[in-house]
Structure 1
Amino acid sequence: MNAPTPAQHLQRPVPPAMLAALRAAFGERCNTALSVREQHGRGESVYDAAPPEAVVFCESNEDVMTVVRLAAAHGVPVIPYGTGTSLEGHLLAVQGGVSIDLSRMNRVLRLNAEDLTVTVQAGVTREQLNREIRDSGLFFPIDPGANASLGGMAATRASGTNAVRYGTMRENVLGLTVITASGELMHTGTRAKKSSAGYDLTRLFVGSEGTLGVMTEITLKLYPLPEAVSAAICHFPSIDAAVQTTIQTIQMGVPIARCELLDANAIRAVNLHSKLGLREAPMLLMEFHGSEAGVQEQAETVQALAAEHGGEAFQWAKTPEERTRLWTARHQAYFAALQLRPGCRCQSSDTCVPISRLAESINESVAEAEASGIPYWIVGHVGDGNFHLSYLMDPNDAAEAAKVEELNVRMVRRALRLEGTCTGEHGVGLHKMGYLLEEAGAPAVAAMRAIKQALDPQNIMNPGKVFALQPV
């Protein structure tokens, strides 16, 4: 039910006249080589590549406006592209068209350290941003596992390991520059901390997955680098014990900065990939930010809670290098896990539930995963009720793929039953379109569809994603 419908696959070829105009405007920056097109027609999802007919490497707002205006004149789809790390098929050119590669739009445009804001082009990655602003004493905390572009992160409303304390892209994007479906340049939001002026267009575009316009510049909140940072790992006798510790930590109001769950399978993967020697048992990887006294108090509180649930004495990462090594290993868990079953593909799904329902959601999902016999692994930003369950499946085994999809259906519907969401941070893309309908309901999806049709009447902006243009 969540596979793309045939209507979404109707191809809309790029006319020769448009291709000639793109080549005249962009020269070698308009590329039609198969290898380049295939690279831009796949992400990290299990879907096969669906390449665009052309890729244009844009370097300015004017470049993007030129491409979109040509696309609008010819009724051709455009798909924004950042770093290609999507997990739900966002990048696939299911109706053909042109991929707009924003990776060369990678400048930090304006740092306002006094106001704790920065404006960047969409192709800037999160790691690049933090390198460039390090000397200011500030940092940007949103950190999905991949070194994603900030435009892609805004498009999918990304979060990551720090979300439990600092929020998601929804809370940290102040304003946008957007190229609309007609090729006009539009600004949303300001650098002010709040506004009651008109509709909140910024939050409308954040999370729209490229279906309403192309975001080319983003204004973000920044935060002071904490005076003290402390990281620790703690092993538990079971996943449930680790989750119960997390729940109590959040319910007590401990301002923990990061609280990541890794199951034994995930730890085995990162041990092999990153040459770590961690014990292969359920583990929480935690980080505390604040003053020296505040960090110590937070850590002592969580350590006491962990002990109540069988958690072993904390092992502290005492140096920045040790912390970086642990967090780098955590961020590389996806690629590390692929090595556990050579030739496999990873079907990864994430859900998010109220913190009080987290144990129920994870425990039932783990029981089903164990019973399936299919290799799996779990990581989770459990401090905000979000976890990822990933299956390592044989791409040539149709029965196994069907079983994995059945397990995903159960996991998502369980989250919905527990008053959660079908996706905490991956986005809807192609895979979760049916789930969005179940979660939001037909009237809400109809409202989204009306907004899409109003802003993109030709349906050229990343068509076939989030929901079908017409009810099915």
Structure 2
Amino acid sequence: MGIPVGAAAVIDRLAGMVGARVTTARGVLDEHGRSEAYHANQPPDVVIFPEATQEVAQIVALCATAGMPIVAFGAGTSLEGNTAAVAGGLCFDFSRMNRILRLNDKDMDVVVQPGITRKQLNAQLRDTGLFFPIDPGADASIGGMAATRASGTMAVRYGTMKDNVMALEVVLADGRVIRTGRRARKSSAGYDLTRLFVGSEGTLGIITEVTLKLHPWPQAISSAVSSFGALHDAVETAIEIIQSGIPVARIELLDEVMMRGINGHFGLAYREAPTLFFEFHGTEAGVAEQAEFAEATAAEHGGLGFEWAQLPEERTRLWRARDNTLYAGLSLRPGARAMITDVCVPISRLAECLVETRREVDALGMIAPVVGHVGDGNFHMLILIDPANAEEIARAKALHARMVARAIAMEGTCTGEHGIGLGKIDFLKDELGEAVDVMRSIKAALDPLGLMNPGKIFRSSLEPRA
């Protein structure tokens, strides 16, 4: 809808408040309208780089009086158009709010600003013997990870953001600042507002502080790679390991198409077959026992041997390849964009869901590598499309819709970790039914003007910008 009436005056006031930290430069606006998603660039009208919670609160209150939409922006790594400014307005870029505010090493928790990334956080924790384990692959901001309820490769052992965020400081749509909890490890005090805002994608308020659980570095870490002759065998291996109660830290699946991509992109020489990436954490004896069981289980399912990575540099090389599967996948079709899926099903249905999906993709003749956090039933398919080919995009969307319907029919979800954003709105009602109306009621109560990240999770009542 462009800049709302009176917004020019608001921008002038913002310049008076924060000086050069507010900009309407076209290049900066465009940078904040795009992400890793295939969705079209939808930039805001103004970007501001706040440095303190009170500054955010004052600006939010100002936007409320002017009817200006507000979007929070972290590292720009979202995959469902979660930060697209569909109605224009103001974008908060939190890159300057990237500090550790309080480290409580004896309690194993830390209070951080939302703009700190997970790699920045762990680099600063290096000498404490503690780390933050949630690893979505990209170097996402902690605020963005909380907003999308992110998880990633180590969720099978350490849980998701939902399990590791203890409390939040949030600026509400009218400029009020609230704290959703304390540092106690458990509480029965009223509604669980922390988990209401975790996963709300900036549609209910702006996260300005996050209190996180930390975990001790394991005494021993070992990683391994094992390939299989068939996708089904790889998945069944992962399922059996999980069902046996082995506390493996990561079990990641890359299909033969993705393995071809990482070999070409990184100059590696892995077997181009369905492959499991493992990581084991614990004591020296515990890691050895876990690894021995996993290797034996893989062999029972036709595993083609284990390749071990025990030295830190070997593990770094292995997981660097896994963490950059988006770019490795895109290298299979230069110039393409990826429509990235992230369905999740009960682990007992994972093999069925994955094999049926792979069979359909092959029948369509599309390039769509698979990578999965198979330890918790979550997998991604990168459907490579020509962004200028409308017919191809329509075919990919239809494939995606059938994939989501298959997951929901198996009592799964349309999104395991990317959020709803723009891309999954049409599936939310199919998954949760009347509960979506309850979500709308909460949204209306906390953001009656609909200014907080409009057009995400639900359709926006604001007129889209031309």
TM category (shorter chain) comes to over 0.9
Shift of residue 13 of structure 1? Answer: 5.8
Output the amino acid matched with 1:289: H
Native 8 Å contact 2:261 2:329 kept in 1: yes
Alpha-carbon distance between aligned partners in 2 of 1:202 and 1:283, rounded to the nearest angstrom: 37
* Counterpart for residue 101 of structure 1: 93
Shift of residue 275 of structure 1? Answer: 2.1
Q: What residue ranges of structure 1 are gaps of 5+ in the alignment?
A: 1-8
Shift of residue 152 of structure 1? Answer: 0.1
Alpha-carbon distance between aligned partners in 1 of 2:102 and 2:453, rounded to the nearest angstrom: 29
Shift of residue 142 of structure 1? Answer: 0.1
* Counterpart for residue 336 of structure 1: 328
Alpha-carbon distance between aligned partners in 1 of 2:99 and 2:125, rounded to the nearest angstrom: 12
Native 8 Å contact 1:13 1:96 kept in 2: no
* Counterpart for residue 104 of structure 2: 112
How well do the aligned residues superpose, as a CA RMSD in angstroms? 1.1
* Counterpart for residue 457 of structure 1: 448
Shift of residue 383 of structure 1? Answer: 0.3
What are the within-5 Å matches in structure 2 for residues 161-180 of structure 1?
161-180=153-172
Shift of residue 95 of structure 1? Answer: 0.6
- Pairing partner for 2:315 from 313, 316, 323: 323
Native 8 Å contact 1:14 1:76 kept in 2: no
Give identity over the alignment, percent.
56
* Counterpart for residue 5 of structure 1: none
SS of 2:341's equivalent in the other structure is strand
Shift of residue 189 of structure 1? Answer: 1.1
Native 8 Å contact 1:259 1:381 kept in 2: yes
2:195 corresponds to 1:203: yes
* Counterpart for residue 468 of structure 1: 459
2:257 corresponds to 1:279: no
2:71 corresponds to 1:79: yes
* Counterpart for residue 6 of structure 1: none
| Deviation per residue, 1:272-316 (Å, 9 max, x gap) | 222221111110000001111111111111111111110022110
What are the within-5 Å matches in structure 2 for residues 305-320 of structure 1?
305-320=297-312
- Pairing partner for 1:410 from 402, 407, 412: 402
Alpha-carbon distance between aligned partners in 2 of 1:53 and 1:395, rounded to the nearest angstrom: 25
Alpha-carbon distance between aligned partners in 2 of 1:395 and 1:205, rounded to the nearest angstrom: 33
- Pairing partner for 2:289 from 297, 310, 313: 297
Output the amino acid matched with 1:430: L
Alpha-carbon distance between aligned partners in 2 of 1:102 and 1:263, rounded to the nearest angstrom: 36
* Counterpart for residue 262 of structure 1: 254
Native 8 Å contact 1:11 1:94 kept in 2: no
2:442 corresponds to 1:445: no
Alpha-carbon distance between aligned partners in 2 of 1:193 and 1:16, rounded to the nearest angstrom: 46
Output the amino acid matched with 2:82: H
Output the amino acid matched with 1:371: A
Alpha-carbon distance between aligned partners in 2 of 1:356 and 1:291, rounded to the nearest angstrom: 29
Instruction: Give the number of aligned pairs.
Output: 461
Shift of residue 469 of structure 1? Answer: 5.3
Alpha-carbon distance between aligned partners in 1 of 2:242 and 2:276, rounded to the nearest angstrom: 14
Native 8 Å contact 2:2 2:45 kept in 1: no
Shift of residue 14 of structure 1? Answer: 6.2
| Deviation per residue, 1:436-455 (Å, 9 max, x gap) | 111000x2011000000000
Alpha-carbon distance between aligned partners in 2 of 1:42 and 1:13, rounded to the nearest angstrom: 25
2:34 corresponds to 1:42: yes
Alpha-carbon distance between aligned partners in 2 of 1:133 and 1:243, rounded to the nearest angstrom: 35
2:385 corresponds to 1:370: no
Native 8 Å contact 1:14 1:97 kept in 2: no
Native 8 Å contact 2:2 2:89 kept in 1: no
SS of 1:22's equivalent in the other structure is helix
| Deviation per residue, 1:305-354 (Å, 9 max, x gap) | 11111002211002010001110111111012212211111111110000
Alpha-carbon distance between aligned partners in 2 of 1:92 and 1:410, rounded to the nearest angstrom: 25
Deviates more, 1:62-71 or 1:49-58: 62-71
- Shift of the 222–341 alpha-carbon distance from structure 1 to 2, 3 Å rule, reads same
SS of 2:343's equivalent in the other structure is strand
- Pairing partner for 1:345 from 332, 337, 349: 337
Alpha-carbon distance between aligned partners in 1 of 2:59 and 2:262, rounded to the nearest angstrom: 42
Output the amino acid matched with 2:152: G
- Pairing partner for 2:138 from 143, 146, 149: 146
- Pairing partner for 2:119 from 123, 127, 152: 127
| Deviation per residue, 1:99-122 (Å, 9 max, x gap) | 000111000111111101001000
Native 8 Å contact 1:14 1:53 kept in 2: no
Alpha-carbon distance between aligned partners in 1 of 2:2 and 2:256, rounded to the nearest angstrom: 44
SS of 2:358's equivalent in the other structure is helix
SS of 1:267's equivalent in the other structure is helix
Deviates more, 1:23-32 or 1:378-387: 23-32
Output the amino acid matched with 2:43: P
Q: What residue ranges of structure 2 are gaps of 5+ in the alignment?
A: 462-466
Alpha-carbon distance between aligned partners in 2 of 1:33 and 1:458, rounded to the nearest angstrom: 27
Alpha-carbon distance between aligned partners in 2 of 1:418 and 1:331, rounded to the nearest angstrom: 28
SS of 1:415's equivalent in the other structure is helix
Native 8 Å contact 2:338 2:383 kept in 1: yes
2:23 corresponds to 1:18: no
Deviates more, 1:121-130 or 1:266-275: 266-275
* Counterpart for residue 156 of structure 1: 148
Alpha-carbon distance between aligned partners in 1 of 2:442 and 2:383, rounded to the nearest angstrom: 35
Alpha-carbon distance between aligned partners in 2 of 1:468 and 1:116, rounded to the nearest angstrom: 40
Alpha-carbon distance between aligned partners in 2 of 1:415 and 1:121, rounded to the nearest angstrom: 35
Alpha-carbon distance between aligned partners in 1 of 2:5 and 2:80, rounded to the nearest angstrom: 24
| Deviation per residue, 1:168-187 (Å, 9 max, x gap) | 00000000011110111111
SS of 1:376's equivalent in the other structure is coil
2:182 corresponds to 1:190: yes
SS of 2:212's equivalent in the other structure is strand
Deviates more, 1:457-466 or 1:59-68: 59-68
2:81 corresponds to 1:51: no
